[in-house]
Amino acid sequence: MAIFEPTATPHHWKPAALAAGPFAGLQGGAVASLLTGEVEAMAGARNWGSAISASAWFLRPTPMAELRTRVAVVTEGGRVSVVDNTLWPAGEEQPCATVRVTLSRERPVDVPGFCRPAADRVDPTVFPLRSPHAVHGRSWFMDAMEARAGGDVAWFRMHHSVITDAGPLARVLSPADWTHGIARPVQNAVADPNPNLAVQLFKPPRGEWIGVRAEARWRPEAGLGVGSGVLLDVDGEIGRVSMSVILVPFPRNAPASGAGSAAG
């Protein structure tokens, strides 16, 4: 079962309960993955190459409702293509989120003197499970994946595709959105939504597991922070992730959450 299913109308989507975030609306990582996955699904037919980066902006909470998207090509041809995808609730004019995806046609290059860093293969299944719950007590995006913690790396394995035919970058965005929540300096103190998310890949992940070696910095006097991290698969590094963070008090009468990002 995909987390977003297409409706009979082209570029319209129905989210499953698993797309929900810990507070209001859908999880930012789910929304970014939907928008990026739709671009990846088009890439083969348009000869855009592989999606190597995505920058997402979460403009307002995305409701649990029918959604529509619109793909716009910024540039295509040559080595690099850039494609935007924006999301609205069906029937509304104010967008909820947008993503810009960079794609590149891969070409081998001979680099004299280059040595690939050695890495030991990891088995995330040996690490303890983590099962954070949303404050609303219902199904949410974390329930769509298996999460484990080992050393300084949090590992995630998706149990559901975001959309049919989504590519590697969409699959990485889903766990990458948790980066700040993994490393926040103080737990259960304030809500910390990320209004943006940026991921760059230099290689597609091998296997189902995505790891995040995360760090975070806060400036409470301004209500701001950042999260960033190294992205891994079981064989080693595959890319980077970064995001801005806005610190706000928890919604009144809402208990503190040990969950990751509340964005989107």
- Each residue's pLDDT tens digit, 144-201: 999 999 989 999 999 999 999 899 999 999 999 999 999 999 988 898 999 999 999 9
| pLDDT (mean) for 100-109 | 95
Instruction: Centre a 10 Å sphere on the Cβ of residue 243 and count the other Cβ atoms it contains.
Output: 26
What local confidence, expressed as pLDDT, does residue 256 receive?
Answer: 47
**CA 239 from chain center: how many Å?**
13
pTM over 0.85: yes
What type of residue is 3?
A: I
Give Cα separations from 234 to 85, 88, 148, 177 (angstroms): 30, 36, 13, 19
Give the position of tokens 């649990």.
64
Residues 134 and 22: beta-carbon distance below 8 Å: yes
CB atoms < 10 A from the CB of 60, how many? 14
pLDDT band at residue 132, thresholds of 50, 70 and 90? confident
Which pair of tokens denotes residue 260?
A: 């990751």
Tally the residues of the chain.
Answer: 264
- Give the range among 55-59, 60-64, 115-119, 131-135 with minimum mean pLDDT: 131-135
Cα 71 → chain centroid? 18
d(C-alpha 152, C-alpha 206), whole Å: 20
Q: How far apart are CA 99 and CA 115, in angstroms?
A: 34
Q: What is the CA 220 to chain-centroid distance, rounded?
A: 25
Specify whether the CB–CB gap between 3 and 38 falls below 8 A.
no
Of 183, 130, 126, the closest CA to residue 152 belongs to 183
